[in-house]
Structures are given as C-alpha cells and as structure tokens.
Amino acid sequence: MSARPVATMVPNPDWAVARGFWEATARGELRFPRCTSCGTFQWYPRARCRECRSSDFEWTLVAPHGTVFSYTIVRRPFLDGADRATPFAVLQVQFDEAPGVTLVTNLADESQADKVRIGAPISIEFHRINDRTWMPYATIEASSG
C-alpha cells in the first residue's frame, strides 16, 4: 500500500454541527445524523430536518460499506501552495444503510485510482490525522461480479 499524502486542510472536530461525526470516526465508526421524528438521514448535518423541520437528530451507526456514486481524478493542484501530490481521486460514496447520504472522500490508496468506477463497491477505513481527527477514506473492494 502506498503512503497517503498528509492532509493539509484538517477539519475542526469541535464544530458543533459535525462533532458527532468526528467523535465516531475517532472510535472507528461511521455515523450520520438521522432525524428522530421522520427517520431521514441528513448529510451534511443541518440544524433542521430537510423533510419535517425537526431539530432532533441521532448520530446513527452505519456499516462502512457502500458504492461509488460519482468521482473525479484531480490532476492539477487547485490551491496555490498545495503540497498534495497529484493526481488523486475525489469520490462521492453512498451507503446502503444511510439512504440519501453522499460522503465526499478520497482513496486510502491512490494506486487504486484506475479501479474507481461508478457503482464500484467500497469500504471505509479510518486514518489518523492527529489525536482527535480520523479521516474516513475509501478502499475499492474486489468486485464479486
């Protein structure tokens, strides 16, 4: 497995709206906010449910397996001074257990970029960025078909 490039923009795990997500990834769990009133998953997190306007959410555990909804391969840095090696893949992934959720992520191993296809099965693994931040990255699973 190739080494992951170091993330240069690290999310703030104390941002209240997303704190439950980062607390979960630090435990090796994938959780998304789900409305306790109507059951709709929300991602990105919002103050109110987009379906019923409730403000009560539960950070719901989701199996870290899904499929590629869409992707692109970034071949040029898009920020001046960005030290991240290109090319790299940016993926939108979906999860069977969290309808409506699309998570934007990267590959755990960029050497898998040529295996990325829409609909490809993925699993999420968590990589330590610092003591409190574990990033969810996708691995393309061997296709059964």
Would you tell me which residues interact with Zn ion (CB under 5 A)?
35, 37-38, 40, 49, 51-52, 54
Comparison of 39 and 77: residue with beta carbon closer to Zn ion: 39
Least distance in Å: CB of 48 to Zn ion?
8
Comparison of 52 and 85: residue with beta carbon closer to Zn ion: 52
Comparison of 54 and 70: residue with beta carbon closer to Zn ion: 54
Comparison of 50 and 128: residue with beta carbon closer to Zn ion: 50
Least distance in Å: CB of 68 to Zn ion?
27
Least distance in Å: CB of 54 to Zn ion?
5
- DSSP string over the chain: -PPPPPPSS---TT-GGGHHHHHHHHTT-EEEEEETTT--B-SS--SS-TTT----EEEEEE-SEEEEEEEEEE-S-SSTT----S-EEEEEEEETTSTT-EEEEEBSSGGGGGG--TT-EEEEEEEEEETTEEEEEEEEPPP--
Least distance in Å: CB of 20 to Zn ion?
17
